[in-house]
Amino acid sequence: MKNALIWGGAVIGVLSAAWLFLTHAMGYDTQNDNTAPYEYFSILIPIIGLFFGILNYRNVECNGQMGFWKLWYKALKFYYLAVSWRYL
Protein backbone atom coordinates (compact mmCIF):
# COMPACT_ATOMS: atom_id res chain seq x y z
CA MET A 1 0.00 0.00 0.00
CA LYS A 2 2.90 2.35 0.64
CA ASN A 3 3.83 2.25 -3.04
CA ALA A 4 0.24 3.00 -4.02
CA LEU A 5 0.14 5.98 -1.67
CA ILE A 6 3.35 7.41 -3.07
CA TRP A 7 2.37 6.94 -6.70
CA GLY A 8 -1.23 7.92 -6.10
CA GLY A 9 -1.37 10.65 -3.50
CA ALA A 10 2.01 12.23 -4.11
CA VAL A 11 1.50 12.39 -7.86
CA ILE A 12 -1.93 13.97 -7.36
CA GLY A 13 -0.40 16.55 -5.02
CA VAL A 14 2.49 17.39 -7.33
CA LEU A 15 0.25 17.70 -10.39
CA SER A 16 -2.23 19.86 -8.49
CA ALA A 17 0.55 22.15 -7.26
CA ALA A 18 1.96 22.36 -10.79
CA TRP A 19 -1.50 23.31 -12.05
CA LEU A 20 -1.70 26.11 -9.48
CA PHE A 21 1.70 27.47 -10.51
CA LEU A 22 0.75 27.23 -14.19
CA THR A 23 -2.49 29.16 -13.72
CA HIS A 24 -0.67 31.76 -11.64
CA ALA A 25 1.97 32.15 -14.35
CA MET A 26 -0.82 32.66 -16.89
CA GLY A 27 -2.11 35.60 -14.90
CA TYR A 28 -4.85 34.06 -12.76
CA ASP A 29 -4.53 33.98 -8.99
CA THR A 30 -6.73 33.50 -5.97
CA GLN A 31 -6.95 37.16 -5.04
CA ASN A 32 -8.79 38.31 -8.15
CA ASP A 33 -12.26 37.32 -9.22
CA ASN A 34 -10.97 36.22 -12.60
CA THR A 35 -12.04 32.66 -13.18
CA ALA A 36 -11.28 31.14 -16.53
CA PRO A 37 -13.32 28.16 -17.75
CA TYR A 38 -10.21 25.98 -17.97
CA GLU A 39 -9.71 26.32 -14.20
CA TYR A 40 -12.65 23.99 -13.68
CA PHE A 41 -10.64 21.23 -15.34
CA SER A 42 -8.34 21.17 -12.31
CA ILE A 43 -10.80 18.83 -10.58
CA LEU A 44 -9.89 16.17 -13.13
CA ILE A 45 -6.36 15.85 -11.72
CA PRO A 46 -7.41 14.36 -8.34
CA ILE A 47 -10.35 12.43 -9.75
CA ILE A 48 -8.30 10.66 -12.43
CA GLY A 49 -5.33 10.15 -10.08
CA LEU A 50 -7.54 8.69 -7.36
CA PHE A 51 -9.30 6.42 -9.83
CA PHE A 52 -6.10 4.97 -11.26
CA GLY A 53 -4.41 4.73 -7.85
CA ILE A 54 -7.30 2.77 -6.31
CA LEU A 55 -7.72 0.68 -9.46
CA ASN A 56 -4.05 -0.31 -9.37
CA TYR A 57 -4.26 -1.15 -5.66
CA ARG A 58 -7.37 -3.27 -6.21
CA ASN A 59 -5.90 -5.17 -9.16
CA VAL A 60 -2.37 -5.70 -7.81
CA GLU A 61 -2.67 -6.08 -4.04
CA CYS A 62 -6.27 -7.25 -3.61
CA ASN A 63 -6.41 -9.65 -6.58
CA GLY A 64 -9.27 -7.76 -8.21
CA GLN A 65 -11.63 -7.78 -5.22
CA MET A 66 -12.17 -4.96 -2.78
CA GLY A 67 -15.03 -4.10 -0.43
CA PHE A 68 -16.70 -0.71 -0.22
CA TRP A 69 -15.36 0.28 3.22
CA LYS A 70 -11.83 -0.79 2.38
CA LEU A 71 -12.07 1.24 -0.81
CA TRP A 72 -13.39 4.26 1.12
CA TYR A 73 -10.54 4.01 3.66
CA LYS A 74 -7.86 3.79 0.96
CA ALA A 75 -9.40 6.71 -0.96
CA LEU A 76 -9.21 8.85 2.19
CA LYS A 77 -5.53 7.98 2.56
CA PHE A 78 -4.89 9.05 -1.04
CA TYR A 79 -6.81 12.26 -0.48
CA TYR A 80 -4.96 13.07 2.75
CA LEU A 81 -1.58 12.62 1.12
CA ALA A 82 -2.60 14.68 -1.92
CA VAL A 83 -3.86 17.55 0.23
CA SER A 84 -0.98 17.52 2.71
CA TRP A 85 1.60 17.45 -0.13
CA ARG A 86 0.60 20.98 -1.13
CA TYR A 87 1.46 22.42 2.27
CA LEU A 88 4.99 21.01 2.63
Supply angle C-alpha 71, 63, 44, rounded to 5. 45
Helices (H) and strands (E) in the chain — how many of each? 4, 0
Quote the CA–CA distance of 13 and 67 in Å, as a whole number: 26
Q: What pLDDT is recorded for position 43? A: 80
pTM: 0.61
Average pLDDT over residues 16-36: 75
Report which listed range, 4-8, 9-13, 28-32, is most confident: 9-13
Neighbours of 45 (CB within 10 A): 19
